[in-house]
Amino acid sequence: MRILFFAESLIGGGTERRLLELAGYLKNNRWDIKIVITDNIIHYDYAFQLKIPIIPMERKVLKKDPTIFFRFYRFCKRFRPHIIHTWGKMTTFYAIPASLLLNIPLVNSQVADATIKENLQGFNGFIWRINKRFASVNVANSQAGFNAYGLKSSQGRVIHNGIRSQRFENLTSKQMVKQKYGIQTPYAVVMVASFTEKKDYHAYLTLSREIYNIRKDISFVAAGHGPLYEAFRDKVSAKGPETFIFIGRTNDVEDIINCCDIGILLSHGEGMSNAILEYMALKKPVIATNAGGTKEIVKNGVNGYLIDNKNINGIVSLLIDLIENPNKREEMGEAGRKTINRFFTVEKMGAAFLDLYEIILENNNLN
């Protein structure tokens, strides 16, 4: 079977990671896969390791380039995929004419968050309504996102993210990773997230400063990049604390999480966070914002804590309690690993997509 993935790029984001994990699973199941991207940016080494053809279809003049409609149609006419699977707002929109004219089912995986105000208004809302109407099925990676976007069971399905266990094997020693990134304290917490408005690095910085006023033996690691990265780094450089460490864009995310003691994610609404799944896969207790799809992963008091970003004092208390109680960290970490093994493996995600593809193809043949 032939499948065509269509995404804006393969930058170091959660959606792109999910796309590649699924592509690897499908390749192992003997699917013929091609990936088309509208920005020739590839941050994941795994994209090259898969040896799946990646075809740049770059925008020539405008950011929303109308020529992509025709170029994508021509590509589909040559490749003749059985399914088009899109991974973003504009790529889904660009794929609609090819899907309709060539009678190719369209799977739309643009719902990867649960913050909808800006996504359902104005131009974004217009595009979403068109995409939802013409996609064969709309896939959300969390029940929270499914509900937030107003999807019905007849229009879509929830398929949670899944991760490969092989990513967390044969890691670099914790001591070497700490030396590499200048983590000099006995303890460290980490937040893996892009520097965008949706991630609450301001709360993370405030937390680090409150902790620094109490004790100096905990580093706060920030692993990620994005449009707000430079300004935020300058802000911390000017006022500290010295225990706040910027990693930037990295392919060492597994090693970095592994050398830390606690995983944190403060945000303004997630779909299904890959960072939280990675924390749990490496047996780290999680402290995360009680919003969006996070509560579908984190069970409060079992494998982590669900918190309110504004309650910094409460987060301080939870974090210090975890640092001072290694047995509790270990118990929560073990519970997190069990959560991953039971619900969030790439095999479980891949099987769910295969089931969905089979249903879509069967319905398409009947029609």
pLDDT, one tens digit per residue, over 76-86 is 999 999 999 99
Q: Note whether 2-162+345-366 and 166-343 share their fold.
A: yes
| pLDDT at residue 256 greater than cutoff 70 | yes
Task: Tell me which DSSP letter residue 115 carries.
Answer: -
Give the pLDDT mean for 116-128.
82
| The pLDDT of residue 269 is above 90 | no
| Ranges 253-262, 267-276, 304-313: which has the least confidence | 267-276
Quick: pLDDT tens for 279-295: 999 999 999 999 899 99
Q: Is the pLDDT of residue 232 over 60?
A: yes
Q: What confidence category does residue 60 fall into, taking pLDDT thresholds of 50, 70 and 90?
A: confident
pTM of the model: 0.93
Indicate left, alpha or beta for 52 from its phi (over 0: left) and psi (-120 to 50: alpha). Answer: beta
pLDDT value, residue 115? 74
The predicted model gives 107-111 an average pLDDT of: 97
pLDDT of residue 363: 87
Report the share of the chain in percent with pLDDT over 90. Answer: 88
pLDDT of residue 365: 73
What average pLDDT does this structure show over 200-209?
A: 96
Asked if the model's pLDDT at residue 39 lies above 80, the reply is yes
CATH T-level fold of 166-343:
Rossmann fold (3.40.50)
Q: Is the pLDDT of residue 4 over 70?
A: yes
pLDDT at residue 128 is higher than 90: yes
Per-residue pLDDT at 343 exceeds 80: yes
Residues 58-68 have a mean pLDDT of: 85
**Rounded Cα gap, residues 130 and 163, in angstroms:** 31
Sequence-separated contacts (24+) of 226-233 with Cβ below 8 Å: 226/194, 226/195, 226/196, 226/199, 227/195, 227/196, 228/195, 228/196, 228/197, 228/201, 229/195, 232/195, 232/201, 232/205
Quickly state the pLDDT bin for 315 (edges 50, 70, 90).
very high
| pLDDT-based confidence at residue 59 (cuts at 50, 70, 90) | confident
Domain boundaries, the chain: 2-162+345-366, 166-343
Band of the pLDDT at 8, cuts 50, 70, 90? very high
% the chain with pLDDT above 70: 98
Q: How far is CA 116 from CA 107, 144, 193, in A?
A: 20, 11, 19
- pLDDT given for residue 120 in this prediction: 78
Average pLDDT value for the chain: 95
Please give the pLDDT value at position 117: 64
* pLDDT on residue 169: 95
Least confident of 34-48, 61-75, 297-311: 61-75
Cα 203 to Cα 167, 208, 263, 310, distances in angstroms: 29, 9, 15, 7
Assign domain 2-162+345-366 to its CATH superfamily: Glycogen Phosphorylase B; (3.40.50.2000)
At 265 the pLDDT is 97
User: In this predicted model, what pLDDT tens digit does every residue of 318-335 receive, in sequence order?
Assistant: 999 999 999 999 999 999
pLDDT higher than threshold 80 for residue 56: yes
| Residue 171 pLDDT > 80 | yes
